Amino acid sequence: MSTPSTSGRKDAQRNRLRVLKTARALFAERGDDVQMPELARAAGVGVGTVYRHFPTRQALVEAAAEHRFAELAAYAGTECRSRPELGGGLERYLTRVGEVLAADRGLSAAIEAARGTSETEPRGPALAELEAAIEVLIADGKAAGTLRADVTVADVYMLVGALSATIRTGSGDWKRFIDLAMNGLRTA
Amino acid sequence: MSTPSTSGRKDAQRNRLRVLKTARALFAERGDDVQMPELARAAGVGVGTVYRHFPTRQALVEAAAEHRFAELAAYAGTECRSRPELGGGLERYLTRVGEVLAADRGLSAAIEAARGTSETEPRGPALAELEAAIEVLIADGKAAGTLRADVTVADVYMLVGALSATIRTGSGDWKRFIDLAMNGLRTA
Amino acid sequence: MSTPSTSGRKDAQRNRLRVLKTARALFAERGDDVQMPELARAAGVGVGTVYRHFPTRQALVEAAAEHRFAELAAYAGTECRSRPELGGGLERYLTRVGEVLAADRGLSAAIEAARGTSETEPRGPALAELEAAIEVLIADGKAAGTLRADVTVADVYMLVGALSATIRTGSGDWKRFIDLAMNGLRTA
Amino acid sequence: MSTPSTSGRKDAQRNRLRVLKTARALFAERGDDVQMPELARAAGVGVGTVYRHFPTRQALVEAAAEHRFAELAAYAGTECRSRPELGGGLERYLTRVGEVLAADRGLSAAIEAARGTSETEPRGPALAELEAAIEVLIADGKAAGTLRADVTVADVYMLVGALSATIRTGSGDWKRFIDLAMNGLRTA
DNA sequence: GATGAATGAGGTTTCATTCAT
DNA sequence: AATGAATGAAACCTCATTCAT
């Protein structure tokens, strides 16, 4: 509507991204109660286009989740390691995660709602990347003598999940959660 | 229709409880996808009766949540304190919570779904009781010198929420979570 | 809307019938392009009520088919045999079928559309009844020496189907079809 | 885009035929539930190309119908008359029709679905040809003294329609249908 | 002429809740 | 107080058709 030409084949990818970003924004704002036609309208495309790129509402939510996840993974792999000599890369990482999630509780809610009763967590491609990055942060911490020797990626992953829930449900001060969690990971 | 009168107030209470227990059982088994008419049938009453006692589906879910919560509170107040000289009352409590929640992931999911995008957590009457009980467990721990001096009820409450999410989503080994959490609460 | 009270439990059956009759009428008039909400409105009930009685659009169409089928079966069992000494019971029956179907081409179209690509024909309870009645008509004809000795119920059933298609598609004069068909069934 | 020019008019005809044949094949296999984009893909062209040649899905189905119809007409005009002294040209023709339709029930279903509630049958160019051919077969039969004197092309056309329906719906043994039909057409 | 991404009006079905009996 | 049939507002998704490239 504001952009003059809606274009053709070439920027199908651009459309996909547009939908994805609109979805993130709308979910962030209003949680799970966003309907497909409305979302399409907000993205400036027809519902059909949304469904072309994401065959199911759930698929769209998952893609939004993955999108945010990828950002978090990228952060873990770059900024957090930037000054390893300072130590505390892991803590900086968790804090960053907290900030992102806190700014975006609606999306978390939508993701949670979409999970429904499904038993398994979806494992997107960004996950492997994230795990590798966290591995490094853990190694740094152990090298600096600040982390317990038995800390694993699985531990951190679990704590991120717990942090996310804490923020989403507002069951407490998430900075305090990180504080306690880091304390739990540190050498006695 | 032909039976003169099916009794009075006493049956009403019995019905309320029947519905509540059926709800806990069905939610536990199938999560949020339980429909009101079906639930009514399972409880052996009509939908109307369910609605007489719980004006809304959400109200019923909240009641089920409170019901479970009350059990947890009772446990904190009794068994966990039973042998304070042993120490570790708080850890025993968290473990108990974990066991109950792990046996009951469906109900957690239903509760979570019912919360929807609502900002605030419902605070039922059992909460005060629980807080008092936890206060005591914390005091015990501090007296035994095992807990950090700054640990509060809010901390524990937050950790219980995080534990619940960890179990519900299956994002990791919840016993390990308790391990890390307790480590975080302990004196350095 | 015109009837003062919509009543409760007792005339659920009355509602079912009302929906069924409305369906027959609407399908007769407009063929397959009748939508559920519209049909419900025409029947003076909500869509939900329609779906309570007929879990699927297809189920409703099938019920309408069966309803008409039952009428045809009843006719075969009664009027057509009324004066066997006249002979020609089978022909009178086919003619009657033709009249009913000709007055009701829309329903035939809806039924056909609902069948879709499905391989098998639905066999409702009226079918057995019809077959028994036709058996008798055939026996009458053979006794009167007018029908070929090898004529079976399956033949007649097949011819009824063919007659139905002839009428529905308007591919010719159905009375002529009956003429030819009867000629085909008669002794040389 | 890089290829200078993909030829001119000749390819267009080739494409038309390609689409038509693909349509026949796909409809034969899956009945009416074939989508335009899918059909286009199967034909190795874009949807746009399909629409260039057939302005409407219905038009394509009709073209497929006509295509098959033309084959049937050709057969009536050639092989069936090949040895008129044998008699039974009409029966041989109907049998051939039956064989073709039986191998192709899906297309019949698609044609039927496309007709929808429309009152009139489409009359393609092959029809006149067919009628002429049948006229001859009928004349042969009458000359041989095997057909009733009042048999018309319209009768045969109607019977072909009925035969088609019998095969499509599977309501009986279509060879038996031909048997009865021929018997109906024969002199007493 | 060909391509295929985009469109968006519809259509079926679900299920929390109401209310006549 | 209990019953359960009825309600009807949604909400998702499909797919024939268009048109910019």
Provide the 10 A C-beta neighbour count for residue B2. Answer: 3
Q: Does the residue B23 lie in any domain?
A: no
Is residue A84's pLDDT more than 70? no
Q: Does the residue D3 lie in any domain?
A: no
- Residue D82 CA to residue D96 CA, distance in Å, equals 14
B contacts of A163 (beta carbons < 8 Å): 162
Per-residue pLDDT tens for B5-49? 445 567 788 899 999 999 999 999 999 999 999 999 999 999 999
Instruction: Say how far D56 CA is from F21 C1', in Å.
Output: 23
Per-residue pLDDT tens for B143-159? 888 999 999 999 999 99
Cβ of residue C57 lies below 7 Å from strand E: yes
- Residue D51 CA to residue D33 CA, distance in Å, equals 18
A165 near B109, Cβ under 8 Å?
Answer: no
| D154-159 own/partner pairs: CB under 8 Å, 24+ apart | D154/C172, D154/C173, D154/C176, D155/C172, D155/C176, D155/C180, D155/D185, D156/D90, D157/C171, D157/C172, D157/D131, D158/C166, D158/C171, D158/C172, D158/C173, D158/C176, D158/C177, D159/C177, D159/C180, D159/D94, D159/D185
The residue whose CA lies nearest the C1' of nucleotide E11 is C35
Q: Does D103 touch chain C (CB under 8 A)?
A: no
- Residue B181 CA to residue A172 CA, distance in Å, equals 15
- Residue B90 CA to residue B135 CA, distance in Å, equals 10
Contact D164 C165 (CB under 8 A): yes
The confidence score (pLDDT) of residue B2 equals: 43
For range B64-76, the mean pLDDT: 89
Higher pLDDT, C39 or B83: C39
Contact A32 B176 (CB under 8 A): no
Based on C-alpha coordinates, what's the Rg of chain A?
Answer: 19
Q: Does D150 touch chain C (CB under 8 A)?
A: no
A92 near A133, Cβ under 8 Å?
Answer: no
Phi, psi dihedral angles at C186 (to 5 degrees): -80, 155
The confidence score (pLDDT) of residue C121 equals: 73
For range A103-125, the mean pLDDT: 83
Contact C165 D170 (CB under 8 A): no
| C146-151 own/partner pairs: CB under 8 Å, 24+ apart | C146/C87, C146/C88, C146/C186, C146/C187, C147/C90, C147/C185, C147/C186, C147/C187, C148/C185, C148/C186, C148/C187, C148/C188, C148/D183, C149/C187, C151/C185
Is residue B162's pLDDT more than 90? yes
- Residue D73 CA to residue D136 CA, distance in Å, equals 12
Higher pLDDT, C181 or A132: C181
Residue D8 pLDDT class (50, 70, 90 cuts): low
Q: Does B117 touch chain A (CB under 8 A)?
A: yes
Min Cα distance D17 → chain C (Å) is 26
Structural domain of residue B150, as residue ranges? 58-185
D contacts of C173 (beta carbons < 8 Å): 154, 158
Min Cα distance C176 → chain D (Å) is 8
Q: How many domains does chain B have?
A: 1
Q: Does the residue B170 lie in any domain?
A: yes
CA D8 from centroid of its chain's CA atoms? 31
Residue A83 pLDDT class (50, 70, 90 cuts): low
The confidence score (pLDDT) of residue C123 equals: 76
Q: Does the residue C72 lie in any domain?
A: yes
B40 near B47, Cβ under 8 Å?
Answer: yes
- Residue C38 CA to residue A6 CA, distance in Å, equals 37
Is residue A151's pLDDT more than 90? yes
- For residue A106, which of A39, A45, A173 has the smallest C-alpha distance? A39
Per-residue pLDDT tens for D106-120? 999 999 998 876 777
- For residue A43, which of A64, A26, A56 has the smallest C-alpha distance? A26
Q: Which of D155, D165, D176 has its CB closest to that of C161? A: D165
Contacts of C47 (CB under 8 A, 6+ apart): C36, C37, C40
Which of C38-42, D52-56, D81-85, D94-98 shows the lowest mean pLDDT across its residues?
Answer: D81-85
Cβ of residue D99 lies below 7 Å from strand E: no
- What 3-state DSSP class applies to B40? helix
Q: Which of C32, C172, C180 has its CB closest to that of D117? A: C32
The residue assigned the tokens 């309408």 is C64
The confidence score (pLDDT) of residue C187 equals: 85
Is residue D55's pLDDT more than 90? yes
Q: Does C121 touch chain D (CB under 8 A)?
A: yes
For range D133-139, the mean pLDDT: 91
Higher pLDDT, B148 or D12: B148
A contacts of B177 (beta carbons < 8 Å): 158-159, 162
- Residue B100 CA to residue B160 CA, distance in Å, equals 12
Q: Does the residue D4 lie in any domain?
A: no
For range A53-63, the mean pLDDT: 94
Q: Does the residue B52 lie in any domain?
A: no
Which of B28-32, D3-7, D167-171 shows the lowest mean pLDDT across its residues?
Answer: D3-7
Q: What is the DSSP letter of D172?
A: S
- Residue A143 CA to residue A89 CA, distance in Å, equals 12
Is residue A1's pLDDT more than 60? no
For range D14-25, the mean pLDDT: 94
Q: Does the residue B163 lie in any domain?
A: yes
**Considering only alpha carbons, which residue of chain B is nearest residue A179?**
B184
The confidence score (pLDDT) of residue A9 equals: 58
The residue assigned the tokens 């006692």 is B53
Q: Which of D106, D148, D171 has its CB closest to that of C157? A: D171
The confidence score (pLDDT) of residue C5 equals: 42
For range D71-94, the mean pLDDT: 79
- For residue C72, list its beta bridge partners: none
Please state at what angle helix B126-143 crosses helix B89-102, rounded to 10 degrees: 140
Residue A181: CATH number of its domain: 1.10.357.10
Which of A39-43, B171-175, C4-8 shows the lowest mean pLDDT across its residues?
Answer: C4-8
The confidence score (pLDDT) of residue B7 equals: 53
Q: Does the residue B32 lie in any domain?
A: no
The confidence score (pLDDT) of residue D87 equals: 60
The confidence score (pLDDT) of residue A7 equals: 47
Per-residue pLDDT tens for C64-110? 999 998 988 888 888 776 665 566 789 999 999 999 999 989 999 99
Q: Which bases of chain E are contacted by protein, using any atom under 7 A from a CB?
A: 1-21
Q: Which of C33, C115, C158 has its CB closest to that of D117? A: C33
- Residue D65 CA to residue B121 CA, distance in Å, equals 65
The confidence score (pLDDT) of residue C126 equals: 84
Instruction: Say how far D2 CA is from E2 C1', in Å.
Output: 14
Is residue C3's pLDDT more than 70? no
For range A101-119, the mean pLDDT: 87
Contact D166 C170 (CB under 8 A): no
